[in-house]
Amino acid sequence: MLIGPYQFSGKAVLAPMAGVTDRPFRAVCRAQGAAAVTGEMVSADTSLYASDKTVHRLDMSGEPGPRIVQIVGSDPAQMADAARVNVERGAHIVDINMGCPAKKVCKRAAGSALLADEPLVARILDAVVAAVDVPVTLKIRTGTSPEYRNAVAVARIAQAAGVKALAVHGRTRSERFAGYAEFDTIARVRDAIDIPLLANGDIDSPERAAAVLRQTGADAIMIGRAAQGDPWIFKRIEHFLRTGELPAEPTQQQRAAVVADHIKQIYSFYGEGRGVRIARKHIGWYSGAHRNAAAFRATVNRMDCASDQLAAVARFFAGDTSAPWSDEQQRMNVA
């Protein structure tokens, strides 16, 4: 897949997710085989860029290229200005969010709400593409509702504006994340445009990734929620697409090492106090499929000390049966 001057060797990329795809998580996913990663979406209002939250969202220091920033907004001039500012700050690709279904975004007529106004879509894309000399990409949904799927029309607008790649989530704005993603609309988008196309939505296994690529004709697939707690999914998908076989799963020790490294990066990035709180959700995702996960999460969520949290993670993934969250220990406590 070629986006502007940037060639991506793999077909599985990390979707931008607010509150999730920060610099530590991007590093982990990249190390586990993600062909590309995108930062959390940031507002087109550059007056907010000095806030602590946005400073962290825009922090790409030390990351290899291409560095991709996603912006969200509804004013063409403001979006163009945001694109210029982010390129000046080191972005190699600017992605435009027209897919977020969150109420707080849509009530500002941004995100997936923009799909209801195709002329405004065109003005935003024209303004941003004209404002920067780096590739501009776009992420959308299939439409505003199942009764109004206009992804094909928006895709044609994007290509005409000079957008270099398009990602499509197989749900409409009104569906949010309910039900199942559909890919027939994405296949029709593929027939309508020549630029690289990425399919997104409910892709949670190598087999599913291969099936979606066949069904849609997309150049790549985009993984979002399935990567939460499972960054190894990228390596599994790439191996399966190359060989037709499922690779060996990481050992428990290998998983534990990745989890510990990720948590340490969170502490370093945010500081211990905030880092401990942010790490909780990732620890919850990592532990979700394990025995005693609920009791373990309850224990970790009461911890405010980084060293205690990290030690608990090490004990949990080592299968420590003397730990307070283990079935055996709980039986002993009851006895």
Give pLDDT tens digits for 72-125. 999 999 999 999 999 999 999 999 999 887 766 665 667 888 999 999 999 999
Strand partners, 165: 137
Instruction: Provide φ and ψ at 294, rounded to 5°.
Output: -65, -45
Q: Does residue 156 sit in the same domain as residue 297?
A: no
Q: Does residue 86 sit in the same domain as residue 232?
A: yes
Query: Residues 194, 156: contact at Cβ < 8 Å?
Result: no
Lowest mean pLDDT of 74-83, 107-116, 175-184, 304-313, name the range.
107-116
Q: Does residue 231 sit in the same domain as residue 268?
A: no
**pLDDT per residue over 54-67, tens digit each?**
999 999 988 998 99
Given 243, 265, 281, which residue is the final one in a domain? 243
Q: Does residue 229 sit in the same domain as residue 96?
A: yes
Q: Does residue 137 sit in the same domain as residue 119?
A: yes
**pLDDT per residue over 4-38, tens digit each?**
999 998 999 999 999 999 999 999 999 999 999 99
Q: Does residue 215 sit in the same domain as residue 121?
A: yes
Q: Does residue 233 sit in the same domain as residue 259?
A: no
**pLDDT over threshold 70, residue 321:** no
Domain of residue 64: give its range: 2-243
Q: What's the CATH code of the domain at 106?
A: 3.20.20.70
Q: How many domains is the chain built from?
A: 2
pLDDT at residue number 334: 42
Q: What is the mean pLDDT of the chain?
A: 92
Q: Does residue 239 sit in the same domain as residue 256?
A: no
pLDDT at residue number 174: 87
Given 243, 262, 296, which residue is the final one in a domain? 243
Give me the long-range contacts of 114-119 (CB less than 8 A, separation at least 24): 114/74, 115/140, 115/141, 115/143, 115/144, 115/150, 115/151, 115/154, 115/173, 116/144, 116/148, 118/150, 118/153, 118/154, 118/157
The pTM score is 0.92
**pLDDT per residue over 196-251, tens digit each?**
999 999 999 999 999 999 999 999 999 999 999 999 999 999 999 999 999 999 99
pLDDT at residue number 330: 56
Nearest to 173 by CA among 194, 147, 155: 147
Q: Does residue 223 sit in the same domain as residue 271?
A: no
Query: Residues 70, 97: contact at Cβ < 8 Å?
Result: yes
For the record, the structure tokens of 203 come out as 């892709």
Nearest to 137 by CA among 174, 183, 91: 91
Q: Does residue 235 sit in the same domain as residue 302?
A: no
pLDDT at residue number 332: 46
**pLDDT per residue over 31-56, tens digit each?**
999 999 999 999 999 988 988 889 99
In the residue annotation, 100 being an active-site residue is answered as yes
Q: Does residue 229 sit in the same domain as residue 280?
A: no
**pLDDT over threshold 90, residue 265:** yes
Query: Residues 239, 208: contact at Cβ < 8 Å?
Result: no
Nearest to 45 by CA among 75, 8, 22, 24: 75
- To the nearest 10 degrees (0 to 180), the angle between helices 76-88 and 118-131 is 30
**Which member of 29, 100, 106, 305 is catalytic?**
100
pLDDT at residue number 196: 97
Strand partners, 95: 70, 137
Counting Cβ atoms within 10 Å, is residue 167 exposed (0-12), middle (13-18) or buried (19+)? buried
pLDDT at residue number 335: 43
Given 212, 243, 274, which residue is the final one in a domain? 243
Mean pLDDT of 127-141: 98
Give me the amino acid identity at 322.
S
Q: Does residue 232 sit in the same domain as residue 265?
A: no
Collapsing DSSP to helix, strand or coil, 6 comes out as strand
In sequence order, what E strands does 236-331 have? none
Mean pLDDT of 150-158: 97
Mean pLDDT of 262-277: 96
Spatial neighbors of 147 by CB under 8 A, at least 6 apart, are none
